[in-house]
Amino acid sequence: MKSIPIADVSSIRNELNRYRKGKKLEIPRFNQLGRMAYLGRLVMSPLDPEDAECQSYLVHVQELQGLAAHFVELDEDLQDAILVLDGEQAMAMAAIMQQGVQDRIRWHEELNQRDFYFSAFYRPREKAE
């Protein structure tokens, strides 16, 4: 955990302003976080919901489970992490999360309509000549 010396009030204000602005992620880390958002493994909340000027979000990266845990690669420091993300990238994560939910809904609807019996047991007969 980062410590801030209390002796200088202006340094505390500067540090708080940095947190209020949030942090932009580099492209590889954004892509990793985007994969987690797509899978629905992020919990996001405004950093300061009472401050209209504060656009940053707290983002909790939940641990991967099941099959995804074997295939999705994630930096060790992003696993079960809490980040302060700037508003622009946080909104992009929210859109990615929404797309992931919509894709899973579509997949489940298609699965519900699929006829497994027909594809498993129907074999076209060869024409006898």
Element (H, E) at 14: helix 9-21
- The answer to whether the Cα torsion of 91, 92, 97, 101 is positive or negative is positive
Q: Is residue 30 part of a domain?
A: yes
| Residue span of the structural domain in which 45 resides | 24-112
Tokens 């985007």 sit on residue: 34
Q: Is residue 97 part of a domain?
A: yes
Q: Is residue 68 part of a domain?
A: yes
Q: Is residue 128 part of a domain?
A: no
What's the pLDDT score for residue 94? 96
pLDDT tens digit string along 80-94?
999 999 999 999 999
Q: Is residue 50 part of a domain?
A: yes
Q: Is residue 65 part of a domain?
A: yes
CA distance 117 to 103: 25
Per-residue pLDDT of the chain (129 residues; tens, 9 = 90+): 566 556 677 777 777 777 777 889 999 999 999 999 999 999 999 998 998 888 899 999 999 999 999 999 999 999 899 999 999 999 999 999 999 999 999 999 999 999 888 888 887 777 766
How, if at all, do strands 82-85 and 42-46 pair? unpaired
Element (H, E) at 46: strand 42-46
Q: Is residue 1 part of a domain?
A: no
Burial class (CB in 10 A: 0-12, 13-18, 19+), 86: middle
pTM, entire model: 0.79
Q: Is residue 91 part of a domain?
A: yes
- Count structural domains, the chain: 1
